Every structure is written in C-alpha cells, then in structure tokens.
Chain A
C-alpha cells in the first residue's frame, strides 16, 4: 500500500489552501484527491465577482480566485489526482479511492485533511407538496448547467430561498435571457449577503418576498407553475395568501449541508448544529491527525475565510506529521449560546494555540445594535457592539493566548449575543 504523509480529500478552495500551506510548513509528501476533472471545486462554476477582497485585496471571479491557488499548488509541486473518488476512509487513515485509470486503490495516510465541501439541500428535505415534474433544480445544479455546460434550465423562473447561490442565479438567468419572476424566502430575512440582494435582485427589479414559501408545484411532465403563500412566524402557510405563478423552472437555494459521509464513516464526531466535524483549536477532529476545513467543517459565507482556515488546517497537519504538534492536554470548552448558534472550534488548548485564535460562529436570527460578548467562566472579557448581525453572515471573535494565560483554571469560554 502506498503511504503519503498528508492526504487532502478534495481539491476545492479548502483543499488547495491546505495543501499549499502544508507544503510551506515543510511537508513534502502531500496528495490531493479530487473527484472532478479539474481542481478548483465549486469556484469553477462561480463565475461572478466578489471573491478575494480579503486574501488578495482585489475583487476576483471564482475561477480567477481558484486559479491563483491552483497555480500555487502547481508551483509548489504538490501531487494531485483528478477524477478520483474517495470511497472510504478508515479510522486508521487508510483511504480507499477509485478512478478509471488506477482502479480501486488504498493509501495509508499519516494525516488526513477533510476538505470535501458541502452540498445543496434538495426539495425532498423541505417536503414541498405537489407534482414532481422536470424543471426543479437546486441553484447550484442550475449554475453548473448555465456556466459550465452552457445550457439554460428554463425561461420563466421562480427561485425559492434567498441564499447567495439563489441570488446570484437570479442575476445569471436574467442576463442570459430568462425571466425571473420572484425570489421567495421562508424566513423574515434573507439568507444571502446584502450586496447580492442589491446587485442581483434590485438591479433587475426582481421582487424578494420574505416570509413566503412554495406550497404547491404543478406540471406532470415539465413544471408549469407554482403557488407561493405567506408564512406565519412558525413557518406555516397562512390560508388565503396563496398566489399562483406560471413558470417552467423552480430553483431551490434553501441551504447547504457539509458533506460528511466520509467523516461519519471513519467515526469522526459531528456537530449537530453545523453538521460538520467537531474540531479543536488546531482544526483537528475527534480523531487525532484528522483535520477539517472549509465548507465541510461549517458552511462559510466568504471563500476568503475558507482559504484562511484551510491554511491553518494544512499547517497543523504538517506539524502533526513532523511530531511538532503537542498532544492536546487540557482543552477548554467553547460554548456558543444565547443567539450564537455554534462555534468553530469547539475547544481550545491554551498550550497548543498560536498567539491568536479566530473563533467563528453564526447568529440564529437578525440583530441590530447588539453586542457580541465573550466570557471566561463568569468574567466578561469582550463586549463588542455590532450594528447589524444576520444568520447569513459569519461572525468572529479572536481569543488571545496572553489573555487566556491569565486564567489558568479556566473551565469554559462562552460566546453569546447580548442586547446591552
């Protein structure tokens, strides 16, 4: 069996950044396994601009952003395999993968970086009643069809869900000649970035109906129409608010789910809120030497943060294989509560952490002029006012090693949202 020090599962933005950073940290035995025919992952179909403001201080399109990381991986001489599907990873880090040329094969890894990304939530998960005709696509599938394959899913479009991909596709479909009639959002706020609502909907006069959902789907062969209804505060349709729309296409942008089938298979502990692995300050999962980063860990709003996080995972993986990553001795739990839905990471080992640790989380609803607070046990050490917070955007706090060292008996770090 072939042995590799670090095997990276997925050659999207997370995998690429992890690989480059592992190499720069001194690891010379790295292999990226990518299931698609090219590196870059989902960025290849995200042809819109808005990537890279943090990382490169300029605004790039998805393929350009991916291109820079791909170039870096090429320049660093990092090995990768394309068209290769990982079928299984054992808890002893034996990776079983498959492709056309090599057949099914196994690799023994010393460290594994999970960077499989996420997938879209499908219609079934929402249990929308009605017929099951052709013409219902998740926004990402439509994005692939339009941007990569050059096919229009349809001409008269309704979009359910105001996640970023849905908003971006509203503009894309419009620019390519389709008529986008409405974007409906179940929640009273959009799940996407504000800039996307302005540039993708407002610019083209596409209405956004908040607190609305699809309650019926018509058409036996191809979609012929849908019915929207307003929902109450519990998400239930309000009788009498139904509105029919004729359309041949329904795009769903109703959430992303980290793709952790392989992680579950190897026995990695999964967080019930993020659906991603539970990780410590080193982005290491419940299995020693297995790291996670990017959308497989938790769904990000910006790829820049994915790259940053993945860089850290790659570096830690390199430290792990060279035995420079200390054994975790006494992790302190990070508890997200009262408005903060989760935190990544979930624990911090103060001896193991770098000078600063970025803890990322999302809020459960929208807030105006509320505070992000951090408590070390009962002591509030951070109280930062935020004019606006929304579930669609990630928040972060930075924990400082120096400060933490002042609390040698610290039991728990708590992150919460406070009104004052």
Chain B
C-alpha cells in the first residue's frame, strides 16, 4: 500500500489530504472536510487538472488585452500547450464575458473563454 499526501486546492482552507493507494487504485481519502476534497484527491493522484488563466490580444477594442480562462480544468500536462494557443490567439472586439475565444484548446475538448468584456472602439 502506498500513501500520498496532498494539499487540497479545492478552496482556501487547504486541507491536508492522505490518499491510500493500492495497485494504482485509490483505496481511501482522509483529511478532507468536504466531498470536494475527496474528489480532488482521487483525481489529483491519477489525472491532475488545472484551470488556466491568461490574456488574449484584442484588436479594435477599448483595451489591448482581455483576460481569459479555460472553461473547465484541463490536464496539468497540457498547460503549456494551452498557453501556446492562447498566446497566438487574437480576438476582435466586442467581446463579452463567457465568449468562446478558442475551441477545444490543445485537444482537451475544453474551450478558452473571455473573463471580461472589451468594447469595440
């Protein structure tokens, strides 16, 4: 049996989690104060994922950049591939919060969406 220790990133509480593993399978999770901690631990030891936030260039807008995020979390290993696509993206104003900027970023099936508005000039 293998024990992995994690700090939960589900919320700012930052619970210290203990995950018992056997043959690559999660046996149990302890130390969490809510179900999100349990879910996080089970995922983190097998397939860690993150939400990526950054900025995308805007043309013809009231601001040169808008902030964006991946709509849901993507595999941790895809973060830099995702950033590459974000860095190459250009969007024309107007843009509204929630607009899809990149579809299926880095073949994750997840889209990158705007997290703020940009008005057209």
Chain A residues near B (Cβ < 8 Å):
44, 47-50, 53, 59-64, 67, 146-150, 172, 175-176, 193-195, 197-199, 203, 301-302, 387-388, 393
Contact = CB atoms under 8 A, between A and B. Distances in A.
A195 B83 contact: no
B116 to A, nearest CB: 4
Interface stretch (B19-27, B52-60, B102-110): B52-60
Q: Which of A44, A63, A197, A388 has the most CB of B within 10 A?
A: A63
B67 A63 contact: yes
Contact of A195 (B11, B55, B64): B11
A63 B51 CA distance: 15
B59 to A, nearest CB: 13
B64 A301 contact: no
A47 B50 contact: no
Contacts of A148: 63, 65
A47 B69 CA distance: 8
A49 B116 contact: no
Q: Which of A147, A172, A194 has the most CB of B within 10 A?
A: A194
A150 B67 contact: no
Contact of B67 (A61, A193, A197, A393): A61
B12 interface: yes
Q: Which of B10, B53, B54, B63 has the most CB of A within 10 A?
A: B53
22 contacts: A47-B55, A47-B69, A48-B53, A50-B12, A53-B11, A61-B67, A62-B67, A64-B115, A67-B116, A67-B117, A147-B55, A149-B64, A149-B65, A150-B64, A175-B83, A194-B9, A195-B11, A198-B14, A203-B50, A203-B76, A203-B79, A388-B16
Given A47-B53, A53-B12, A148-B63, 13 more contacts: A49-B69, A62-B67, A63-B97, A63-B115, A64-B115, A147-B55, A150-B57, A193-B12, A197-B7, A198-B7, A302-B12, A388-B16, A393-B12
B9 A195 contact: yes
A198 B9 contact: yes
B74 interface: no
Contacts of B14: 193-195, 198, 388
A148 B50 CA distance: 23
Contact of B53 (A53, A61, A149): A61
Interface string B82-121: 0100000000000001000000000000000001110000
